[in-house]
Amino acid sequence: MTTLYAQKQTSIHIPENEIGTITFSSKVPIKNIGIFIYDGFNTLDAMGPYHILSQIVGSKVFFISKRKGLVRNQTGMEVKVEKSIDEVNHLDILVIPGGARETYLHTKDQSLLDWIKRIDKGSVYTGGVCTGGWILGATGLLKGRNVTTNWYRAEEIMKKYGANFKPERYVRDGKYWTSAGVTAGMDMSLAIVNDLMGNQYTQAVMLDLEYDPKPPIDGGSIEKTTPEVKRFMNRLYDGIFTPVMK
């Protein structure tokens, strides 16, 4: 197996005996991709986009936090972060993963929101995964835009930020990308790759990942979940979020 992100050049020529030459290049140069993480972030919200976006040729993907050092995900796994927000002044792509209580608290962190807005001024794309869209919404950057986010109280919460919730797997509105919960961040990231690199390159990334999901049962969205399970999950999320959202 070879991974495309191992390539450092900005374009790749792959000669093929039967179909001639396939040329891959990005329509916009993408050099620096930052994923902002914080204690309590959801693992796949960050790691899925990290892996997929790492395969954009010529790019470097790295984690950023408010402070350098170890950052713990929602289950206690530690990730070493070598860049703080004070050290990062420009990104071509910024991605903000979601989480739970900690995510909501970050919607009230004015220094973080100000940093996101500064980065957004020079970014090619700015995106939020799952409840990471709440943080992005709190900056005011999504006002009047179509967005998606985690299913929990989605329309209510995004309306508070002046955004129009769409029950989609991912949504693009201008330079802004948002995804539904957790695994949807991978689909969003593939859509970003496709927008930059085209269908053939995206297929190459998907084949490298063998990304062809086939879950054992129907589920994973509001539409495919039974009422009993939806009620249970709503009560579970209420217990997590209600104490900090009062």
In single-letter form, the type of residue at position 127 comes to: G
DSSP 198-244: -HHHHHHHHHHHT-----SSS-SSGGGS-HHHHHHHHHHHHHHHHHH
- What's the token pair of residue 56? 């954009």
| Annotation marks residue 215 as catalytic | no
3 phi/psi in degrees, rounded to 5: -110, 140
93-96 and 83-84 beta bridge pairing: unpaired
Q: At what angle do helices 43-53 and 199-209 cross, to 10 degrees?
A: 120
- Determine which one of 46, 53, 124, 130 is catalytic: 130
**CA–CA gap between residue 59 and residue 156 (Å, rounded):** 36
List strand residue ranges (DSSP E) for 58-160, in order.
60-65, 69-72, 78-81, 83-84, 93-96, 125-129, 146-147
Please list the active-site residues.
Answer: 130
